[in-house]
Amino acid sequence: MSYQSYWTNRGFPWEHDPGPPKNLSWVRLFSETPNYRGISKAVFPREKFRWHFGPMYYRGRLKKNEVKVLVVGQEGAQDESLSHRSFTGGTGGRMQYFLRVLGIDHHYLFLNTFTYPIFGQYGSKKIKWLAQNPDSPIAQQRFEIFDYALEKNDLKLVVAVGEAAKQTVMNWVLSRGGTVPGGTDDLSTATGQFLDPMTKVVGVMHPGGATKGGKKQKIVASFQAAIDNIKAWINADPTWLPVDSGMTRDLDQPYKYKNWPIPFKDFSLGTCMRLGRRSTSSNRFDNQRSIQIFSANGKYRPQERLVYSGLSNGSDEGYTQGPGDYPYEPPVHDYLDYDQGPTASFARIVMGGQNGYEWPDFKSLGVTSDPSFGYICSYRGRPGRATFLILADQQSHDDLFTMRALTGNSGQRMQAYLKAAGIDESYCIIRTLPVDTLDLSYAKRKQIIDDAQVQKVLTRVIDKVLDYEDVKVILTFGSLAKYFWDQATITITKPVVHLKAWRQPGAKTDWINGFNQLQNAQYGKDVTPTWQYNGEREQIPRYDLPYGVLRWQGSSGNRSQRPKDVTGRWSPNYYKWFVPDWVYDLRPEPMSASERAAIQLMP
C-alpha cells in the first residue's frame, strides 16, 4: 500500500495541532501538575503511576470558544505517551466514532482524570481518594483545568467514559454546587446551575472491554442510552448542539460498536502517522524502560524474535533544566518554550503537500521501513528567520519520536557546535530524506535522492527557506547532503560549508576545521562565539520541539532503535523508544508543603 493510503479519513499530514495557545492559561495550568511520584510514594507501597514517559494533558481544541463537547476519561496509555495527546489509542478511536455520530468532528476536547497512567486497576480506596477527594492535589488541579475549559467555551455536552471518569464528572458537578440524583449510574440527571443551563452530561461504559465476557452488548447499550438522552435534548431544543460544518447526524440509527481514525489536526506536526489509526499501535517493554511501536503489518506482541542492541543506556551529558523541572515532564519553569510549528505553507511543502511537489512512494524506491509509519517531519528550527540553513543526513531514529529533524546524538553534538559558532536559535535544519534509510547502503540512498520527484520536492523545501532572505550560510551535514547540494540546481551566492556527519570517521577534526570557513563568513550572531569545540553534546532546545515533548527527549544521545530479526535483517515493522538510565534511576522528588498537608488528610 502507498503512504497516502494510511491517511484515509484523517485529513492531511501537514494539518497539525500547534499546541496550547500561548496567550491563554492552558500551559500554565498543565505545568502545575502535582508531584505524582512524590504523592504516590507517600500513599502506596510502590509507585502507582507510570511516570517514565511523562504525562499527557489533552487532545482537541484549546482556542477560545472552540469546544462544544468535553470528553473525560480515566488515563492514557502507551500510544498517548508516544503522541503526547490524550485518547489516541483504541479507546480514542471508539470515542472519535461516537463524536462523528453526534455530527462533531472539530469542536471537542479530551481530558482525563489522571494525567499519568496508573499501574493496575482503578479500585482501591487510596487511588479513588487521590482521584476524587476535594483535598487531593490531583483532583484540585484537574477541576481547575475543567473550570477553565468551561470558562473559555460555550460547552454543550460533557461525556464521561468509564467508571473513574463518571465519578470525576459527578464530583466536578458537586464541586460547583450542582446535584446528580442518579449518581454515576445516570449522569444525565445532573441538575442546578453547576456549569451552565445549556450544559448536559452523559456517561458511557469504557469501550475497551468489549472482548470480556459478553461485555460488548452492555457497552453498546450504554452508548445507545447516551445517544437517546442527547436525541431527547436536541428534540426539545434543536439549537442546543449544532453539528460541525460539513457534518450530518442521524440519531435514529441504532448505535454500532465502531471506531474512527484520529485526525492529523489533533497531533503535533510530524507525529508518527501510525498513531491514531483507530487502534493501539504500541506496547511497553523492558520493565517500563521502553515503548515499542509497531506498523500496520506488525503485531502488538510479535511472535518473531526482535534483536535490539541493548537498552540505549545514555548519559546526562549536556542536559540542563530549570527550577521545578522534572526530566520526565515537559518544561515547568519555561513552560512556553515549545515549537508551535511552521507556517501553514511551509508545513504543506515540507510534508509533501504542495501540488506538483508531493513526496513519492518511497517503498517503490527501495525504502524498507513500513509505509504506515509515514513521513518523518524533516525540519527543525525557524524557517522564517534562519541565518544558517543546514541540510543534514539522517543520523538516528530519534526523529520518529521527537517529531523534528536531527534530534539524536549527532544533532545534540551539532547543537553545541552551532553555539560555538554563535548560533543557538537562528537556524533551520532540513533532512535530506523524510523516511528511515539508515539500513540502506550509501549507494542505495544516492539512488533514492537521485529520483526526479525527490529532488524536486527537496529543492522546493530549500528554496522556501531561502525565499525568506535571512540565510547567510549554508551548511551540509553528511555525505548524502553534500552529494545533493553539489549537483542541485540551486543558485545562491552564500558561503557553503560541507561537514561530515558525526557518525563518519574524523568528524570532530572536520568540524573544527570548518570553523576556519565560518569565521570568514559574514553573519549575525545569536551569542558570542567561542570557536572551541571538543566533541561535547548539548540538548535540543525546547523551543525546537512540539508541545508535550519531555525534558529528557532530545538529550542523552540516541534514544530509539530499529531491531533486526534473527536472520540479521532489519525489521520493517518495529521501533523502540528508550528512557535513559539516569532518568530511569531517579528517585521521586519530595512533595511540596501543601501536598504533604493534603496527604495527611487522607483517612
Band (pLDDT 50/70/90 cuts) for residue 1 is low
> Which helix H or strand E contains 218, and what residues bound it?
helix 215-236
Residues near 1 by beta carbon (within 8 Å), at least 6 away in sequence: 296, 371, 372
For residue range 86-127, list pLDDT tens digits in order: 999 999 999 999 999 999 999 999 999 999 999 988 989 999
Q: Using alpha carbons only, how large is the chain's radius of gyration in Å?
A: 25
Residue 84 and residue 59: Cα distance in Å, rounded? Answer: 9
Q: Between residues 566 and 61, which one has the greater pLDDT? A: 61
Question: Phi/psi class of residue 214: alpha, beta or left (left: φ > 0; alpha: ψ in -120 to 50)?
Answer: left
For residue range 516-543, list pLDDT tens digits in order: 999 999 999 999 999 999 999 999 999 9
Is the confidence at residue 3, as pLDDT, over 90? no
Could you tell me the domains of the chain?
A: 17-266 (3.40.470.10), 287-584 (3.40.470.10)
Residue 426 and residue 444: Cα distance in Å, rounded? Answer: 33
Mean pLDDT (whole number) for 452-462: 97
Q: What is the pLDDT of residue 212?
A: 65
DSSP string for 7-33: GTTS--TT-----S-TTSSHHHHHHT-
Given a contact cutoff of 8 angstroms between Cβ atoms, the answer to whether 391 and 462 are in contact is yes
CB atoms closer than 10 angstroms to residue 215: 15
Mean pLDDT (whole number) for 158-179: 96
Average pLDDT score over the chain: 95
Q: What is the pLDDT of residue 214?
A: 66
What burial class does residue 569 get, using C-beta atoms within 10 Å of its C-beta: 0-12 exposed, 13-18 middle, 19+ buried?
Answer: exposed
Is the confidence at residue 545, as pLDDT, over 80? yes
Q: What is the pLDDT of residue 492?
A: 84
Mean pLDDT (whole number) for 42-63: 96
Residue 223 and residue 215: Cα distance in Å, rounded? Answer: 13
> Which helix H or strand E contains 290, and what residues bound it?
strand 290-294
Q: What is the pLDDT of residue 491?
A: 81
Is the confidence at residue 382, as pLDDT, over 60? yes
Mean pLDDT (whole number) for 468-493: 93
Residue 503 and residue 410: Cα distance in Å, rounded? Answer: 7
What percent of the chain has a predicted confidence (pLDDT) above 90?
Answer: 92
For residue range 288-308, list pLDDT tens digits in order: 999 999 999 999 988 889 999
Q: What is the pLDDT of residue 226?
A: 98
Positive or negative: CA dihedral 209, 212, 213, 216:
positive
What percent of the chain has a predicted confidence (pLDDT) above 70?
Answer: 99
DSSP at 58: -
Residues near 322 by beta carbon (within 8 Å), at least 6 away in sequence: 331, 332, 333, 334
Residue 36 and residue 43: Cα distance in Å, rounded? Answer: 11
Q: What is the pLDDT of residue 311?
A: 80
Given a contact cutoff of 8 angstroms between Cβ atoms, the answer to whether 472 and 386 are in contact is no
Chain mean position to CA 325: 19
Q: What would the grid cell of residue 560 be? A: 530509539
Q: What is the pLDDT of residue 448?
A: 98
Mean pLDDT (whole number) for 486-496: 89
C-alpha atoms less than 13 angstroms from C-alpha of 496 in its C-beta half-sphere: 15
Map residue 446 onto helix, strand or coil.
helix
Band (pLDDT 50/70/90 cuts) for residue 191 is confident
For residue range 195-244, list pLDDT tens digits in order: 777 899 999 999 987 766 668 999 999 999 999 999 999 999 999 999 99
Q: What would the grid cell of residue 158 be? A: 460533557
Map residue 241 onto helix, strand or coil.
coil
Name the pTM for this structure: 0.96
Is the confidence at residue 460, as pLDDT, over 90? yes
Q: What would the grid cell of residue 223 be? A: 452508548
Q: What is the pLDDT of residue 490?
A: 86
Given a contact cutoff of 8 angstroms between Cβ atoms, the answer to whether 156 and 69 are in contact is yes
Mean pLDDT (whole number) for 47-69: 97
* β partners of residue 59: 110
Residue 443 and residue 484: Cα distance in Å, rounded? Answer: 13
Q: What is the pLDDT of residue 45?
A: 87
Is the confidence at residue 476, as pLDDT, over 80? yes
Closest to 234 measured CA to CA, from 184, 206, 200: 200
Q: Which amino acid is at 95?
A: M
Q: What is the pLDDT of residue 354?
A: 96
For residue range 560-599, list pLDDT tens digits in order: 999 999 899 999 999 999 999 999 999 999 999 999 999 9
For residue range 246-276, list pLDDT tens digits in order: 999 999 999 999 999 999 999 999 999 999 9
Residue 161 and residue 170: Cα distance in Å, rounded? Answer: 12
Is the confidence at residue 192, as pLDDT, over 80? no
Mean pLDDT (whole number) for 335-357: 97
Chain mean position to CA 64: 22
Q: What would the grid cell of residue 181 be? A: 440524583
DSSP at 564: B
